[in-house]
Structure 1
Amino acid sequence: MNKFFTLSAAASIALISTGTGATGKHAGGHGHGEAIGKPGIAAKATRTVRVEMTDGMRFDPASIDVKQGETVRFVVTNAGKLKHELVLGTDKELKEHYELMKKNPEMEHADPNMVTLAGGKTGEIVWQFTQAGKVDFACLQPGHYDAGMKGAVNVSKPRK
């Protein structure tokens, strides 16, 4: 089973509708595999990357380069009027999460690999990229992912 979802969609819906998932996260919360890294410690961030989200359903920049092991502070600004979010994950995790969001558009969630922002607001994610490869990110608000609101963090191996 995918670590990104700890409960089935039906169980999540049941918990949310009964209020037992009212922790500010999807019912049961999300795990995220080491494939995308782990929450970073703000004091260990080696740099800050500013990302803007727009109502044109785009991230600027949509491609970010980091080094394996690097801890990055993402300062994310919603430059639009619609609610947007930036969620880090694998392509598969993001697609599965998006399907849940389409079925439950009012679902509230707050995990270390994401930030959800109302129009004009700014937030941050501090993340350590532990594995080389690609880490995807997307806005999973209904309709936004389908409109192309996605990007990638390209994690390179450190030079020896």
Structure 2
Amino acid sequence: MRTVIWVAVAIVLVLAALTYGRALLAPTEPAAVRELTVHGFEYDFDPKELTVHRGETVRLLVRNTGTIEHDLTIPDWDAATPLLSPGEEAILEFQPTRSGTFRFLCTVPGHNELGMNGTIRVE
């Protein structure tokens, strides 16, 4: 009788190990990345409003389609592109951790004041 119990316990342990091992080895789907593009030009961004979701990875392609240098800075997240010459582009990748509305702007002197700014709404 003891042998039957030990065999039953062994079978249960083997089945549990196989099930747990399969769960560990199962491929996980890569997290979705939201890709957005913002064009910067004299003295505006297009689009001026972006909506993303909290926790998702966002890849923001910033293109300078203007005739002078621009950048894009998100002050609340300490995120910024380098200064971009006409025709250049850069990628900002971030993952918002809290909901709210956050400003982005061009930090070239005078550009923000002329309207080169926008908002990112995190839902």
- Fold match (TM-score > 0.5): yes
The DSSP-based 3-state class of the residue aligned with 1:74 is strand
Q: Distance in 2 between matches of 1:71 and 1:136?
A: 18
Instruction: Tell me how large the CA RMSD over aligned residues is.
Output: 1.8
Choose from 20, 44, 52 the match for 1:58: 44
The DSSP-based 3-state class of the residue aligned with 1:124 is strand
Report the identity percentage. 33
From the superposition, tell whether residues 155 and 58 of structure 1 become closer, same or farther in structure 2 (CA, over 3 Å): same
Tell me, yes or no, if the aligned pair for 1:48 and 1:74 is still in contact at 8 Å.
Answer: yes
Cα-to-partner distance string for 1:72-115 (whole Å, 9 max, x where unaligned)? 0001100011110000124xx9xxxxxxxxxxxxxxxxxx7111
Aligned to 2:27: none
Q: Distance in 2 between matches of 1:72 and 1:45?
A: 9
Give the TM-score normalised by structure 1.
Answer: 0.55
Q: Distance in 2 between matches of 1:89 and 1:61?
A: 18
Give 1:44 shift. 5.0
Aligned to 1:146: 113
Q: Is 1:114 the equivalent of 2:80?
A: yes
From the superposition, tell whether residues 81 and 146 of structure 1 become closer, same or farther in structure 2 (CA, over 3 Å): same
Q: Distance in 1 between matches of 2:96 and 2:69?
A: 26
- Figure out how many residues of one structure are paired with residues of the other and give that number: 93
**Greater RCO (Cα-Cα under 8 Å, separation 6 or more):** 1
Give 1:127 shift. 0.8
Give the residue type in structure 2 aligned to 1:62: K
Give the TM-score normalised by structure 2.
Answer: 0.70
Q: Distance in 2 between matches of 1:127 and 1:135?
A: 13
Aligned to 2:122: 155
Q: Which runs of 4+ in 1 moved over 6 A?
A: none
Greater C-alpha radius of gyration: 2
